[in-house]
């Protein structure tokens, strides 16, 4: 039994601790909020929360750090690379959480790694994915990637005007083959159609102002028959799509594995390893994350590359000269050529910088009380990270990237459009990634940023990196890309706009894709009979 003096001592220590903690909280809470639009009483900035193209609204609010609130929910937008690095990298242990976005849960997307709060479930899912998508493991998928890319090249020969559909098929084919060992149908594939339908609904629903329920979570408890609550039926329909998206291809892969027809897919490897303890729901959701994360982003990046080449013929020719000098004309390039193709590497990196893939980054929660350059950052503050500027803002990758804002409040620049690092940021200039000796720059400020920050960095970055780079070098080696021409022979301008979704795509455009020569056409046709078992892994 404790003695009275001991109890009093313990009670006194507890009182001192509570007093110190309370003082620290009061001191931090007395710090000013970052600047932002003037809030209305009670409502805060709820009427100003953007429902579409949110980065344009944030441009009007441009500050290094911006604060706004909806009722009592406070959000901080980071517009500074320095602040982003300090928080998302150096203090990632407390800035790796996710707040709940009501629409994601209601649509059945709360299994996705990008939406899971930082904790045991997030660590379990990421650990499984990392095991099969880390650098060494991703080398096993290179043969699949090259085969699917060469399939796309043959489709370009047959119907070049349908290039966008062929790129979509490529991205889905790579992911479905690596994850499920499933070969998609050329059109109207049931698994792909399910995923695209659910992803499109997700992309339009996750911005804070896209649906009022994202700002006022308690609205989810009202019945859908009330006026203004149609999102309930929308979410219910989407939830069915999402459940089928994860379940149906998993059942296909599981059956193939049990019948001995598949040992190489990600699903088969997870089942064989026992890492998910036989929990079919976990395996189906982890596999669904891999598909959802990879397919649409690859489509956007490769389509942006096509757009860039159609509008920059001199850069295209320079890239093709490098390929001809290194690879020659007797074969198609492969992964073993990458180190010898610095200009192609620069083109690839410029594609990711110039028009990054995602319009918007997910929110982050701060797990602990901290201060942000003398301004308060309370535990329920969210950090929005996004990229690009000044007219339309997109970023590649699944998770986090950060905006950089010019101090003059007249031009909104993102990290990848920071003129101090990237002069003339709106121009497509691969040379910015090359040193004077023609090698890829070693400047750490110009590392590929597209895959995120800190502990939330994209787990599939190696597969995505290989897929996009190999697509770029393969297309350049055998095709010329130019603006389309009308019936009078006049070039048709490419508008260059992008969609307002979670993953941003170029607005539809026409271009001319033609074989560089009869010899390259033969190279493309010969891939139909190629054996890919000798594909270089390193």
For 299-331, what is the HEC assignment? HHHHHHHHHHHHHCHHHHHHHHHHHHHHCCCCC
For the chain, how big is the Rg over CA atoms in Å?
25
Q: How far is CA 136 from CA 144, 177, 498, in A?
A: 15, 18, 35
| Structural tokens at position 489 | 């022979």
Provide the 3-class DSSP secondary structure of residue 138: helix
Instruction: Give the CA distances from residue 366 to residues 62, 124, 380, 403, in Å, rounded to whole numbers and listed in that order.
Output: 22, 21, 6, 18
- Rounded to the nearest 5 degrees, what angle is found at the Cα of 459, between the Cα atoms of 457 and 104? 80
With vertex at residue 205, the alpha carbon angle to CA 201 and CA 209, rounded to the nearest 5 degrees, is: 160
Are the beta carbons of 64 and 415 closer than 8 angstroms?
Answer: no
Q: Has 511 been labeled as part of a binding site?
A: no
| 32 CB-near residues (< 8 Å, 6+ apart) | 375, 376
Three-class DSSP category at 31: coil
Structural contact between residues 350 and 430, judged by C-beta atoms closer than 8 angstroms: yes
Q: How many CB atoms lie within 10 A of CB 40?
A: 12
Classify burial at 438, counting beta carbons within 10 Å of its beta carbon; exposed 0-12, middle 13-18, buried 19 or more: exposed
The three-point CA angle 513-516-521 to 5° equals: 90
- 3-state DSSP assignment of residue 47: helix
- Least Cα distance to 83 among 446, 400, 422 occurs for 400
For the purposes of burial, counting CB atoms within 10 Å of the CB of 278, is it exposed (0-12), middle (13-18) or buried (19 or more)? exposed
| Residues flagged as binding site | 458
| Residues flagged as binding site for heme | 458
């Amino acid at each position: 039994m404790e003695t009275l003096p001991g109890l009093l001592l313990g009670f006194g220590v507890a009182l001192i601790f509570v007093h110190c903690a309370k003082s620290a909280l009061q001191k931090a809470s007395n710090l000013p909020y970052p600047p932002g639009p003037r809030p209305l009483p009670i409502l805060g900035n709820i009427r100003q929360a953007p429902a579409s193209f949110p980065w344009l609204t944030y441009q009007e609010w441009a500050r290094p750090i911006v604060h706004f609130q909806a009722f009592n929910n406070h959000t901080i937008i980071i517009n500074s690379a320095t602040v982003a690095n300090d928080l998302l990298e150096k203090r990632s242990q407390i800035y790796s959480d996710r707040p709940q976005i009501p629409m994601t849960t209601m649509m059945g997307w709360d299994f996705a790694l990008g939406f899971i709060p930082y904790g045991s479930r997030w660590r379990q899912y990421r650990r499984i994915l990392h095991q099969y998508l880390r650098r060494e493991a991703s080398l096993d998928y290179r043969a699949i990637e090259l085969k699917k890319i060469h399939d796309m090249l043959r489709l370009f020969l047959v119907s070049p005007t349908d290039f966008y559909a062929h790129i979509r098929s490529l991205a889905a084919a790579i992911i479905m083959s690596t994850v499920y060992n499933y070969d998609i149908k050329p059109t109207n594939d049931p698994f792909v159609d399910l995923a695209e339908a659910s992803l499109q609904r997700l992309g339009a629903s996750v911005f804070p102002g896209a649906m009022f329920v994202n700002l006022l979570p308690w609205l989810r408890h009202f019945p859908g028959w009330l006026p203004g609550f149609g999102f309930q039926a929308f979410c219910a329909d989407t939830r069915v799509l999402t459940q089928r998206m994860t379940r149906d291809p998993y059942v296909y892969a599981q059956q193939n594995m049990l019948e001995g027809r598949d040992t190489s897919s990600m699903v088969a490897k997870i089942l064989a390893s026992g890492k998910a303890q036989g929990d079919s729901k976990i395996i189906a959701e982890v596999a669904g994350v891999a598909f959802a994360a990879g397919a649409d982003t690859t489509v956007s990046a490769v389509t942006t590359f096509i757009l860039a080449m159609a509008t920059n013929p001199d850069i295209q020719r320079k890239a093709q000269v490098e390929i001809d000098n290194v690879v020659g004309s007797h074969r198609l390039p492969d992964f073993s050529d990458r180190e010898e193709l610095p200009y192609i590497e620069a083109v690839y990196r410029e594609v990711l910088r110039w028009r990054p893939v995602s319009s918007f980054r997910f929110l982050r929660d701060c797990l602990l009380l901290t201060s942000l350059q003398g301004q308060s950052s309370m535990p329920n503050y969210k950090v929005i990270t996004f990229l690009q500027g000044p007219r339309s803002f997109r970023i590649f990758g699944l998770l986090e990237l950060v905006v950089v804002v010019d101090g003059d409040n007249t031009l909104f620049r993102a990290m990848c459009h920071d003129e101090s690092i990237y002069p003339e940021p709106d121009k497509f200039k691969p040379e910015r990634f090359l040193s004077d000796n023609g090698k890829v720059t070693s400047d750490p400020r110009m590392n590929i940023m597209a895959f995120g920050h800190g502990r939330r960095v994209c787990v599939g970055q190696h597969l995505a990196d290989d897929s996009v780079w190999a697509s770029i070098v393969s297309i350049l080696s055998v095709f010329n890309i130019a603006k389309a021409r009308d019936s009078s022979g006049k070039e048709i301008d490419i508008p260059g706009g992008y969609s307002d979704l979670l993953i941003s795509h170029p607005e539809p455009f026409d271009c001319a894709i033609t074989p560089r020569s009869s010899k390259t056409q033969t190279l493309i046709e010969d891939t139909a009979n190629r054996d890919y078992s000798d594909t270089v892994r390193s």
